[in-house]
Chains A and B, each alone.
Chain A
Amino acid sequence: MAQTPGNPMIPDGVEGTGGQAAGGTRAGSGTDTGGSSRAAVEADGLHFAYVRGEAVLAGLSMRADAGRLTCVLGPNGSGKTTLLRLLVGLARPGEGEVRLAGRPLGSYRRADLARRVAYVPQETLAAAPFTVAETVLMGRSPHIGALGFESEGDWEAAEAALRQTGTARFADRGLEDLSGGERQRVLLARALAQEPDVILLDEPTAFLDIKHQHAIYSLLRRLARVEGKAVVAVSHDVSLASAYGDRLVLLSKGRVAAAGTPDEVVRPAVLAGVYETPVEVRIDEATGRPYVLPRPPE
């Protein structure tokens, strides 16, 4: 993508206005307790099982603050997607509680919750041939009335979201005509059109090439730092999460194995224990953040 001014997808080296410099703040351990800002989303002792007897989450507690990009990491089957669905309210925990701005999720009305929390699931094909603009407009549905009439304000919010994700030029195209990366950005635009306080994304860069991976994460970080949203992204790429995330939460077998800044979490002993494979950790001199080099198993 061309590095033209005003293009929001320029990968960042240094942040623009406001925001903190890249890098974590302070150390922590176990459950994540850092941050002076009030938590936007909080999980407290969550237990969840799809099938009785097989717990997917076993006593998980974490928090995601406003103004921060929190990345949830962990091996397959550690419960990342389930955690996200619980945070959004698509499923109810067997035990424990999810809180949004201090209040339990259950105390919010469904439409109210949808106005505050946006969820971008892993990319699936839609069952109907909606255009990009129609898809993004759907993000406005918590704000529009029962019959579904849209106002000029809704249209403007949708257009802003399209611009922010650089997908405005696809507005009239069908969703299936786009590439995986473009589609993912459209889904993100839909989430932005919701004008939420919290954005939850499930592996937003799963099918993307490296250029688009960095573009997405850069945008996510800006959304957190500049617009003050609480952004939670599930990721399978530890280095990418480390490069952009303000907080990392590492899950293992339904529990938090480590949480804190990238420096605190991306450590060989910690990672090797969770991923059950030897890793080497180096520091990226350009950003000061750690990155991971997996080593072949012994």
Chain B
Amino acid sequence: MTPRPLTRRRYVFTILVWMAVWLIVSAAAVVVGGRLWAWPSAAQVWDVLWLRLEWVATASAVGAALALAGLAMQALLRNPLADPYILGVSGGAGLAFILASLFVGAAAAPALAFVGALATVGLVYGIARRRGRLEPYTLLLAGVILNAFYAAAIMLVTAVVRPQERGDIALWMMGNIGAFGPQWELIGVVAAAAVGAGILFAFLAKGFNLVAMGEDTAGALGVPVHRLRLAAFVAASLVTGASVALAGPIGFVGLICPHILRMVLGPDHRRLVPASFFFGATFLVLADLATCLSEGAAIPAMPVGVLTALAGGPFFIYLLRTRWRKRLEIR
């Protein structure tokens, strides 16, 4: 790919193109997913329109959030297998959400899930910090430990509750877009978090590129490496926590989207950040549309997390086996 200087004009133009793609796909998802042309009365069309708008908004916010978080984690940990949940945030948010919905109430669960995410951020930081700095290796280890702990805790809760609650927990763990009843405030929070993270990462993108060349190189070129790591870690964790509070732990979006974009756009984070935002949103909107459309057949609608997992695995194998492997390598 011939590199061209990334000027302001090109940047803005690219963002506009991505935004247009996302808007078109979302509009199509609203109309097609709701079969808006097929309802007998205008009142019903109105209802279904708002239902679809809410679900598409959820998918967009969560998709953007997860793709951005995945990109940041892969840059932060220098690991191509990193996804937003690798540092235990989904476990912390999930455990808090489950406990809250069992004992406190459905209304408080998202807020408490976010608190769980915050607590996990603090825990990971406390465990992984060495001399006030975060190293990728210790971060990964702390994340593995916490994930194991949270998985055990969730299993424990699942084992001791009533059977019907067990089913609810299992369903939530798959990740779902949409709820019965409006959630616009929560969607707004996640969307704001995703936009905030996107803007922050856009400013950190230059630093991500340089850190990929080497920590000393980046430092010598004026990048505050440790502050950058901390900012990326906290922002990615918070936006992941918000996303899990809204839709549960939807998998593979945060892992696949950055890689697909790297294949096409290359490793430059200045291009990858805005692309991840819009592509992640579009990706999840399409996945949600697919689950919506698959519902007519005998299969009941599957949670979107199941679809992304089913599709993600084989796709990734394909990526590994083809000549695209080289472009994905992160060492």
Q: B-contacting residues of A (Cβ < 8 Å)?
A: 85, 88-90, 110-111, 113-115, 117-119, 121, 124-131, 133-135, 137-139, 141-142, 144, 146-152, 154-155, 171-172, 194
With A128-B330, A138-B210 as contacts: A85 and B216 at CB distance below 8 Å = yes
Partner of A90 from the list B3, B212, B216, B266 (CB cut-off 8 Å) is: B216
- A200 nearest CB neighbor, chain B only: B220
With A124-B214, A147-B203 as contacts: A138 and B221 at CB distance below 8 Å = yes
Q: Is B162 an interface residue (CB 8 A)?
A: no
Interface flags for B194-220 (1: CB within 8 Å of A; 0: not) read 000000001101100110111011011
Q: In the bound complex, do residue A114 and residue B331 qualify as a contact, i.e. CB atoms below 8 Å apart? A: no
**Given A125-B331, A137-B5, A147-B8, list of 12 further CB < 8 A pairs?**
A88-B220, A126-B214, A127-B330, A128-B331, A129-B327, A141-B206, A141-B222, A146-B206, A147-B205, A148-B270, A154-B5, A155-B5
Q: In the bound complex, do residue A126 and residue B212 qualify as a contact, i.e. CB atoms below 8 Å apart? A: yes
Q: Give A88 to B209 CA distance when docked, in angstroms.
A: 20
- B331 nearest CB neighbor, chain A only: A127
Q: In the bound complex, do residue A134 and residue B11 qualify as a contact, i.e. CB atoms below 8 Å apart? A: no
- B residues within 8 A CB of A125? 331
With A125-B331, A127-B78, A129-B327 as contacts: A151 and B219 at CB distance below 8 Å = no
Q: Is B323 an interface residue (CB 8 A)?
A: no
Q: In the bound complex, do residue A118 and residue B220 qualify as a contact, i.e. CB atoms below 8 Å apart? A: yes
- A residues within 8 A CB of B331? 125-128
- B residues within 8 A CB of A121? 214, 216-217, 220
Partner of A194 from the list B205, B206, B221, B327 (CB cut-off 8 Å) is: B221
A228 to chain B, nearest CB (A): 21
With A124-B214, A138-B209 as contacts: A111 and B222 at CB distance below 8 Å = yes
* Listed A/B pairs (27) with beta-carbon separation below 8 Å: A90-B219, A111-B222, A117-B220, A118-B220, A127-B213, A128-B213, A129-B267, A129-B329, A130-B213, A130-B267, A130-B268, A134-B268, A135-B213, A138-B209, A138-B210, A139-B221, A141-B210, A141-B222, A144-B206, A147-B202, A148-B6, A149-B6, A151-B5, A154-B5, A155-B5, A172-B1, A172-B2
- B residues within 8 A CB of A114? 220-222
B280 to chain A, nearest CB (A): 20
Q: In the bound complex, do residue A127 and residue B222 qualify as a contact, i.e. CB atoms below 8 Å apart? A: no
Q: Give A204 to B329 CA distance when docked, in angstroms.
A: 26
The B3-21 residues at the A interface (CB cut-off 8 A) are: 3, 5-8, 11
- A residues within 8 A CB of B212? 126-128, 130
Q: In the bound complex, do residue B11 and residue A149 qualify as a contact, i.e. CB atoms below 8 Å apart? A: yes
Which range contains the number of B residues in contact with the other chain? 35 or more
- B residues within 8 A CB of A131? 1, 3
B16 to chain A, nearest CB (A): 16
Q: In the bound complex, do residue A138 and residue B213 qualify as a contact, i.e. CB atoms below 8 Å apart? A: yes
Q: Is B130 an interface residue (CB 8 A)?
A: no
Q: Which 9 A/B pairs are nearest by Cβ-Cβ distance? A: A114-B222, A119-B220, A128-B267, A150-B5, A148-B206, A128-B212, A127-B212, A148-B270, A133-B3
- A residues within 8 A CB of B267? 128-130
Q: Is B224 an interface residue (CB 8 A)?
A: yes
In this complex, which of B8, B216, B268 has the most chain A Cβ atoms within 10 angstroms of its Cβ? B216
Q: A-contacting residues of B (Cβ < 8 Å)?
A: 1-3, 5-8, 11, 78, 202-203, 205-206, 209-210, 212-214, 216-217, 219-224, 266-268, 270, 326-327, 329-331
- A residues within 8 A CB of B219? 88-90
B213 to chain A, nearest CB (A): 5
Q: In the bound complex, do residue A152 and residue B213 qualify as a contact, i.e. CB atoms below 8 Å apart? A: no
- A residues within 8 A CB of B206? 141, 144, 146-148
In this complex, which of A115, A139, A149, A172 has the most chain B Cβ atoms within 10 angstroms of its Cβ? A149
- B residues within 8 A CB of A151? 5, 7
Q: In the bound complex, do residue B6 and residue A150 qualify as a contact, i.e. CB atoms below 8 Å apart? A: yes
- B residues within 8 A CB of A148? 6, 205-206, 209, 270
- A residues within 8 A CB of B11? 147, 149
With A121-B217, A130-B213, A147-B202 as contacts: A137 and B327 at CB distance below 8 Å = no
- A85 nearest CB neighbor, chain B only: B216
Q: In the bound complex, do residue A90 and residue B221 qualify as a contact, i.e. CB atoms below 8 Å apart? A: no
Partner of B220 from the list A90, A130, A171, A172 (CB cut-off 8 Å) is: A90
- A122 nearest CB neighbor, chain B only: B216
In this complex, which of B6, B203, B217, B327 has the most chain A Cβ atoms within 10 angstroms of its Cβ? B217
Q: Give A128 to B221 CA distance when docked, in angstroms.
A: 17
- B11 nearest CB neighbor, chain A only: A149
- A residues within 8 A CB of B222? 110-111, 113-115, 141-142
B39 to chain A, nearest CB (A): 46
- B residues within 8 A CB of A155? 5
- B residues within 8 A CB of A172? 1-3
